[in-house]
Amino acid sequence: MHIVVLGGGYTGLLAAQLTAKRTNARVTLINATDRFVERVRLHQLASGQRLRELPLTELLDGSGVELIVGTVTGIDAERRLVRLGGEPVSYDILFYALGSHADLDTVPGAAEHAYSVAGAEESERLRDRLARGGVAAVVGGGLTGIETATELAESRPHVKVRLVTGTFGGGLSERGRRYLRRTFERLGIELIEGARVAEVRADGLLLADGAHLAADTVVWTTGFQVPPMAREAGFAVDTAGRMIVDATLRSVSHPEVYAIGDAAVARLTDGRELRMACATGLPVAAQAVGALVDRLGGRAPKPLRYRYFTQCVSLGRRDALIQFVRADDSPVEAVLTGRLGAWYKESIARGTIMLQRHVALARLIS
């Protein structure tokens, strides 16, 4: 049996390692680069900080997983083939974990004039652009926008940072939002709320009410898109192109395919949809592998189970907001902030890599 995993991000890498560890199958991981990208740290890269090098060969050492570096150009679902630049790769079981990228197509001008922190190359382009100084307008008041704005304001004092958003910290408690506002004031970030961007221009933003906001650099952190491969291959997808899966993360149209991470619509048995996040993707990937192992062993797989605990927002290197939440991700008033919050957030970020290394080590010594 040949199991192929598409995408070497958080969920794909873990799925490849666990599958190799828990089955006797030949496992191949296909990724566009030979490096693992810590996506949760890309706002740090954009601000000029150096990130550690994480070669996939090092993280896969001893795992038994074969790595193919190449860009997926398509999937032949009928013949069970993954098309690359060279010879296609056949599969018996496919794990689809191609992730997501910034949505720069919805608003006119965003693709031409805006920068993002959704990938390593994009973050490096933004870093180089910000070296010029000037005004940076960060569009989007979600967690990515907040982390980006605060990181830039702390690390790039020569850059004037503005955050432009419709809603600010919408998923946080009142206490959490108050702390964010105080943090923005401390860092000198201008907050522009209730705004909807109608167009991105070379000299800034045109808002829906006709107002113009000048900016030397526009950073786009609102909305994500998924690759078109699932739709083009004929898999069942939602309107956004994310693969529709059952309660065991298996495609509802192609039972030999599992989808995990941002590119899948993962729902609990009560119908609640899980949000895009590294914290969501890792345990879901583990459960998808568990479902496959159960099926291979002739057992009925367990349905997806998940509960939320926190939302973690870095606010520069010395501050963070840890928002405690209920199982359904709704906020409670309790928060953890300051240096202790920063330590907590950093521990979570480091823990994701430690998990990958631990799985590889467990395979090596077993």
pLDDT of residue 357: 59
pLDDT of residue 355: 66
Nearest to 7 by CA among 54, 72, 84: 72
pLDDT, tens digit, 9 for 90 and up, residues 285-307: 999 999 999 999 999 999 999 99
The answer to which of 109-118, 273-282, 334-343 has the lowest mean pLDDT is: 273-282
For residues 259 and 249, the answer to whether their CB atoms sit within 8 Å is yes
Domains of the chain listed by start with CATH number: 2-32+70-100+226-306 (3.50.50.60), 110-223 (3.50.50.60)
Distances (CA, A) of 97 to 50, 290, 305, 328: 26, 16, 19, 24
Alpha helices of 48-205 — where are they, by DSSP H? 56-59, 110-113, 120-130, 143-155, 174-187
The answer to which of 46-50, 72-76, 212-216, 265-269 has the lowest mean pLDDT is: 265-269
For residues 11 and 260, the answer to whether their CB atoms sit within 8 Å is yes
Q: What would the mean pLDDT of 160-170 be, rounded to a whole number? A: 95
Nearest to 144 by CA among 258, 328, 309, 275: 275
Q: Is the dihedral of CA 230, 5, 256, 277 positive or negative?
A: negative
Q: Coil, strand or helix: which one is 363?
A: helix
Q: What would the mean pLDDT of 138-148 be, rounded to a whole number? A: 96
Percent of the chain past pLDDT 70, that is, above it, reads 96
Q: Coil, strand or helix: which one is 338?
A: helix
- Is residue 233 very low, low, confident or very high in pLDDT (cuts 50, 70, 90)? very high
pLDDT of residue 246: 96
Q: Coil, strand or helix: which one is 337?
A: strand
The answer to which of 116-125, 156-165, 235-244, 344-353 has the lowest mean pLDDT is: 344-353
Residue 358 has pLDDT above 90, yes or no: no
75 phi/psi in degrees, rounded to 5: -130, 130
pLDDT of residue 332: 97
CA–CA gap between residue 294 and residue 303 (Å, rounded) = 11
pLDDT of residue 366: 36
pLDDT of residue 269: 83
- Is residue 9 very low, low, confident or very high in pLDDT (cuts 50, 70, 90)? very high
pLDDT, tens digit, 9 for 90 and up, residues 193-213: 999 999 999 999 999 999 999
Q: What would the mean pLDDT of 134-140 be, rounded to a whole number? A: 98
Question: Across all residues in the chain, what is the average pLDDT?
Answer: 94
pLDDT, tens digit, 9 for 90 and up, residues 327-349: 999 999 999 999 999 999 999 88
